[in-house]
Amino acid sequence: MMDLKDLRKILVANRGEIALRIMRTIREMGKKSVSIYSEVDAALPFARYSDEAYPLRGKEARDTYLNMERIVSIAKDAGVEAIHPGYGFLSENAEFARMVEDAGIVFVGPKPETIGLMGDKTEARKLVAGYGVPVVPGASEPVRELSEASRIADEVGYPVLIKAAAGGGGKGMRLVHDPGELEAALRAARSESKSAFGDDRVFIEKYISNPRHIEFQILADNYGKVVHLFERECSIQRRHQKVVEETPSVALTSSLRDEMSKAAVDAARACGYRNAGTVEFILSEGNKYYFLEMNTRLQVEHPITELTVGVDIVREQIRIAEGQRLGLDQERIFRRGHAIECRIYAEDVFGNFYPDTGTIRVMREPAGPGVRVDSGIESGNELSVYYDSMIAKLSVWDTDRNGAIRRMRRALEDYVIAGVKTTIPFCRFVMESDDFKLGDYSTHFVENQWPSGKRTLAEENDKDLQDALILASVALEKRRNRSDNLAGSDTARLDRAWLHKRFED
Ligand code: ADP
Ligand code: ADP
Ligand code: MG
Write the pLDDT tens digit of every residue in 47-72.
999 999 999 999 999 999 999 999 99
Pairwise CA distance, residues 234 & 379, whole Å: 29
Examine the pLDDT at 491 and tell me if it is beyond 50: no
Q: What is the pTM of this model?
A: 0.89
239 touches ligand 1 (CB under 6 Å): no
Examine the pLDDT at 480 and tell me if it is beyond 60: no
Residue with the smallest CA separation from ligand 2 atom 22 is 207
Rounded to whole angstroms, what are the CA distances from 240 to 77, 89, 236, 260, 425? 40, 19, 9, 22, 19
Examine the pLDDT at 164 and tell me if it is beyond 80: yes
Examine the pLDDT at 502 and tell me if it is beyond 90: no
Examine the pLDDT at 17 and tell me if it is beyond 80: yes
pLDDT of residue 374: 98
Pairwise CA distance, residues 153 & 136, whole Å: 13
Cβ-contact 421, 452 below 8 angstroms:
no
Examine the pLDDT at 489 and tell me if it is beyond 60: no
**What is the band of 461 on the pLDDT scale with cuts at 50, 70, 90?**
very low
DSSP 259-325: HHHHHHHHHHHHTT--EEEEEEEEE-TTS-EEEEEEE-S--TTHHHHHHHH---HHHHHHHHHTTPP
pLDDT of residue 459: 44
Residue 29 makes CB contacts below 8 A (sequence gap 6+) with 315, 318
Pairwise CA distance, residues 101 & 75, whole Å: 12
Q: Which amino acid, one-letter code, is at 407?
A: R
Closest to 182 measured CA to CA, from 213, 204, 212: 204
Residue 148 makes CB contacts below 8 A (sequence gap 6+) with none
Q: Which atom of ligand 1 is nearest to the CA of 61?
A: 25
pLDDT of residue 488: 42
Ligand number nearest CA of 242 is 1
pLDDT of residue 3: 82
pLDDT of residue 170: 86
**What is the band of 505 on the pLDDT scale with cuts at 50, 70, 90?**
very low
Examine the pLDDT at 481 and tell me if it is beyond 60: no
* Preceding amide of 248 cis, omega within 30: yes
Angle, CA 388 vertex, CA 385 and CA 392 arms, to 5° = 115
Residue 122 CA, ligand 2 centroid: distance in Å = 14
Residue 242 CA, ligand 1 centroid: distance in Å = 10
More confident residue, 484 or 160: 160
Pairwise CA distance, residues 111 & 2, whole Å: 14
Lowest mean pLDDT among 281-295, 423-437, 477-491: 477-491
Ligand number nearest CA of 237 is 2
* 242-259 pLDDT per residue, tens: 999 999 999 999 999 999
Percent of the chain scored above 70 by pLDDT? 89
pLDDT of residue 469: 53
Lowest mean pLDDT among 15-19, 193-197, 290-294, 422-426: 193-197
Examine the pLDDT at 483 and tell me if it is beyond 60: no
Active site residue 297: yes
Closest to 176 measured CA to CA, from 187, 192, 165, 191: 187
More confident residue, 366 or 500: 366
296 touches ligand 1 (CB under 6 Å): no
* 111-129 pLDDT per residue, tens: 999 999 999 999 999 999 9
Pairwise CA distance, residues 21 & 302, whole Å: 11
The three-class DSSP label of residue 377 is coil
Residue 183 makes CB contacts below 8 A (sequence gap 6+) with 146
* 380-419 pLDDT per residue, tens: 999 989 999 999 999 999 999 999 999 999 999 999 999 9
Q: Is 184 exposed, middle or buried (0-12, 13-18, 19+ CB in 10 A)?
A: exposed
**What is the band of 1 on the pLDDT scale with cuts at 50, 70, 90?**
low
User: What is the pLDDT averaged over residues 26-31?
Assistant: 98
* 30-46 pLDDT per residue, tens: 999 999 999 999 999 99
pLDDT of residue 172: 87
pLDDT of residue 2: 73
Rounded to whole angstroms, what are the CA distances from 404 to 42, 106, 409, 416, 425? 36, 38, 9, 20, 18
Examine the pLDDT at 470 and tell me if it is beyond 90: no
* 168-192 pLDDT per residue, tens: 988 889 999 999 999 999 999 999 9
Gap between the terminal Cα atoms of the chain: 68
SS (H, E, C) 198-249: CCCCEEEEECCCCCEEEEEEEEECCCCCEEEEEEEEEEEEECCEEEEEEECC
Percent of the chain scored above 90 by pLDDT? 87
User: What is the pLDDT averaged over residues 283-293?
Assistant: 98
In order of their start, the domains of the chain are 9-108 (3.40.50.20), 137-206 (3.30.1490.20), 212-456 (3.30.470.20)
H or E segment and range at residue 459: helix 457-460
Examine the pLDDT at 463 and tell me if it is beyond 80: no
Q: Is the dihedral of CA 327, 332, 336, 342 positive or negative?
A: positive
Examine the pLDDT at 83 and tell me if it is beyond 80: yes
**Mean pLDDT for the chain?**
91
Rounded to whole angstroms, what are the CA distances from 43 to 13, 21, 48, 380, 384? 17, 17, 8, 9, 12
SS (H, E, C) 84-137: ECCCCCCCCCHHHHHHHHHCCCEECCCCHHHHHHHHCHHHHHHHHHHCCCCECC
446 touches ligand 2 (CB under 6 Å): no
pLDDT of residue 169: 87
pLDDT of residue 451: 76
Ligand number nearest CA of 167 is 2
The one catalytic residue among 15, 125, 297, 479: 297
Examine the pLDDT at 495 and tell me if it is beyond 90: no
Residues with CB under 5 A from ligand 3 (ion): 280
User: What is the pLDDT averaged over residues 299-309?
Assistant: 98
292 touches ligand 2 (CB under 6 Å): yes
User: What is the pLDDT averaged over residues 492-498?
Assistant: 44
